[in-house]
Structure 1
Amino acid sequence: MTAPLSPAPSAAPGAEHTLREIAQQPELWRRVDRAVAEARPRLDAFLGPLLADPRLRIVLTGAGTSAYAGEILRAALAGRTGRRVDAIATTDIVADPYGCLGEDLPTLLVSFARSGDSPESTAATEIADALLGRCAHLVVTCNAEGDLARAHRDRDGSHVLLMPPAADDRGFAMTSSLTCMLLTVSLAFGHLPAGGAEPLAAAARAVAEGELGERVDAFAAHAADRVVYLGSGALKALAGESALKLLELTGGAVAAWADSSLGFRHGPKALLTDRTALVVYVSNDPYTRRYDLDILTEMRAALPPGRVAAVAGRADGLPAEDTWLLPGAEDADDAALALPAVVCAQRLALRASLDRGIRPDNPFPDGEVNRVVQGVTVHPLLP
């Protein structure tokens, strides 16, 4: 018998934080929507002059899950702002600063960080300031007392956006912290309008509390020893985050891979065995969707029954069986669709962890992988 995501916390020892943090997302998104609306005058005063410059480059950055946040939003923000938008992980900026920031353009560095205490978080902002003639900073974080927030809260040219305190996940893996930061930046740049969180929250609630979530649990209960996530565009980035979540919450007991719907055939398809499960995020874009449906049909023929699932906002072209349809998300673009869709991945990873006797709040009790990364030495820039 699988446990739902919204029981009393005592229902799953070792999962109390992760259970709560997945289940709380719909309500947190509503709070974020209201908070960004209240902050709109200050946000416009900060962003307006920057976005008025046609040469502005926006760089979305973070590490791990926070890096995937930037990748999910990149194309949507480029379309919304009409400016060049790049998603570059802090880990890449720190390791290859001149390769990432060697072009001296007016830049807005948007930093996603749950804690803001990872060494690369502050180092990336310092490197950007050192290499670029004009660099402003939008810091999006869950921790008001983190190193990143404290470094930028009183600085000219910086603006700090704080998530609701409950979004600062206490569990090992980023869940509500990711989605709150994604939503905040979507709203801040006008990709989603004020009030735009409501239909997405309703879809996420169907995963967290309803029959749809039970279907995700049932899929996870298959004894797959590897899971592949596929998607296109923004949903390819979501596939990467989904694979990372499964690796984290199962302590590496389930191998996970992510790729694009077209790219998977070019070698990575060798991963498939009869113990592989596969999830395809199906785009709402009518052209891109065709490629997702093609790979979905191919994989359903290649894998045993019940091993392939589709996550979608629209039902057209999809059989009802093994399709996780997100209610009310049929008109969302793919960056917005990623918000409720990632809750499916979070729930699947949590279920897989619990079914293997792992404690998802701390899947690495020996400390070989840490909630806030350790062991990084940031070396000084060379001329």
Structure 2
Amino acid sequence: MTYQASATWAEIHAQPAIWTAWGATLDVQGLRAWVAATGATEVWFCGAGSSAYVGEIVTAALEGQGAFRAVPTTDLVSRPRAYLANRKPLVVSFGRSGNSTESIGVLDALDVLAPDAPRLNITCNANSALAARPGTHGRAVILPEATHDAGFAMTSSFTTMLLTALAVFDLSVPAGDVPALMARLGRQLDAALPRLQSTPVPERAVFLGAGPLAFAAREAGLKVMELAAGQIPALWDSTLGFRHGPKSFVIGDTAITLFLSPDPHARAYDDDLAEELRAQFPQARIQAEAIAAFEPEGWGAVLAVATAQVQAVLWSAALNQNVDDPFAGKGTLTRVVSGVRLHPVTR
């Protein structure tokens, strides 16, 4: 099967239409009113793996707007009392399948340690624990079925969960502007997709950015490693953080993608780093990706991630990987993480 015939390729290209339709359907005003009515003084964004990175992007995008925190479920489940004892945050859980062990573990921990804490479960699977267990004081948002990716890698699920959280919590964007904003993102990605070309498989890959785009870089690096089945080591960092040791990762033919910020001050640092890297690493491929320079800043992260999804598929195919399941027959990684045993939560 060619990569063009894969579910993953189709799911990447379906994103513009999904975002546009979802933006017109999502009850942004109602969800914002519900969040306000909870009276929560802090909001935690929780997920595992890519779903955790959604929370990191959102938290960075909302800097200065309130008490927001990214709390990976992989941390919360292993130390629930350290997080939940005597606290009542609004816990926003992200999950493509909605049935991962850690997603269930967080629900169990909340039931025992913070039963009165409000919950907002955002999932792509209507038949999941997240959909069925919003709790007494919670809500569940079920994304369109098209976002429940069949492929191993999270693609439309990631970007649509991210946009949903931004729509609800980014109060700098009026609720009535959300449909047009999602449609504009869709048009921009639609125009960019045909221009994304295959390039030779690099020795290594690096993704960089500032603010929310740093965490978009984290997801981009993961997509490359996942779809290459580990054959392309990938690193992510912030624009300014990269010089402080991680730059030692660059050798020979390293593909370095710098997601350019729409903020003029941050963009000056992006440009400085791009110039420095071109001078210091003439064998490396330095790409300054302007598609991410989208306002509002956090919303442009979906464009950065989507372009990296395409690059990851093209490199995966060049390595003769099964794009929809790079780990087929290996028994090491699965689409929904397995092998985690939950231990009971006690007060």
TM-score, scaled to structure 2? 0.92
Whether the aligned pair in 2 keeps the contact of 1:31 and 1:164 (CA below 8 Å) is no
What is the CA-CA distance between 1:119 and the residue it aligns to?
0.4
Mapped partners of 1:174, 1:263: distance in 2: 27
> Does residue 240 of the first structure (1) align with residue 218 of the second (2)?
yes
What is the CA-CA distance between 1:122 and the residue it aligns to?
1.7
1:101 is aligned with what amino acid? L
Shifted more, 339-348 versus 119-128: the winner is 119-128
Whether the aligned pair in 2 keeps the contact of 1:111 and 1:138 (CA below 8 Å) is yes
Matches within 5 A, 1:171-210: 171-191=151-171, 192=173, 193-194=177-178, 195-208=180-193, 210=194
1:18 is aligned with what amino acid? T
Whether the aligned pair in 2 keeps the contact of 1:93 and 1:124 (CA below 8 Å) is yes
> Does residue 34 of the first structure (1) align with residue 24 of the second (2)?
yes
Q: Which residue of 2 aligns with 1:86?
A: 69
> Does residue 279 of the first structure (1) align with residue 257 of the second (2)?
yes
What is the CA-CA distance between 1:359 and the residue it aligns to?
1.1
Whether the aligned pair in 2 keeps the contact of 1:142 and 1:168 (CA below 8 Å) is yes
1:97 to 69, 80, 83: 80
Provide, for residues 140-194 of structure 1, a one-character-per-residue CA deviation record: whole Å limited to 9, x for no partner: 0000001221222xx4211111111111000000000011111111112344432
What is the CA-CA distance between 1:285 and the residue it aligns to?
1.3
What is the CA-CA distance between 1:134 and the residue it aligns to?
3.6
Whether the aligned pair in 2 keeps the contact of 1:88 and 1:100 (CA below 8 Å) is no
SS of 1:111's partner is: strand
What is the CA-CA distance between 1:93 and the residue it aligns to?
0.6
> Does residue 340 of the first structure (1) align with residue 307 of the second (2)?
no
In the alignment, structure 2 segments of 5+ residues that lack a partner are none
Q: Which residue of 1 aligns with 2:326?
A: 363
Q: Which residue of 2 aligns with 1:3?
A: none
TM-score, scaled to structure 1? 0.84
SS of 1:138's partner is: strand
SS of 1:135's partner is: coil
What is the CA-CA distance between 1:306 and the residue it aligns to?
6.5
What is the CA-CA distance between 1:30 and the residue it aligns to?
0.6
Matches within 5 A, 1:115-264: 115-132=97-114, 134-152=116-134, 155-191=135-171, 192=173, 193-194=177-178, 195-208=180-193, 210-211=194-195, 213-214=196-197, 217=198, 221-264=199-242
Q: Which residue of 2 aligns with 1:25?
A: 15
Whether the aligned pair in 2 keeps the contact of 1:232 and 1:261 (CA below 8 Å) is yes
1:276 is aligned with what amino acid? T
What is the CA-CA distance between 1:11 and the residue it aligns to?
4.8
Cα distance, 1:123–1:342 mapped onto 2, change above 3 Å: same
Mapped partners of 1:374, 1:47: distance in 2: 33
Whether the aligned pair in 2 keeps the contact of 1:32 and 1:183 (CA below 8 Å) is no
Whether the aligned pair in 1 keeps the contact of 2:203 and 2:252 (CA below 8 Å) is no
In the alignment, structure 1 segments of 5+ residues that lack a partner are 1-9, 313-325
> Does residue 381 of the first structure (1) align with residue 318 of the second (2)?
no
Runs of 4+ in 1 over 6 A off after TM superposition: none
Q: Which residue of 1 aligns with 2:96?
A: 114
Mapped partners of 2:48, 2:245: distance in 1: 27
Mapped partners of 2:62, 2:87: distance in 1: 18
Cα distance, 1:42–1:162 mapped onto 2, change above 3 Å: same
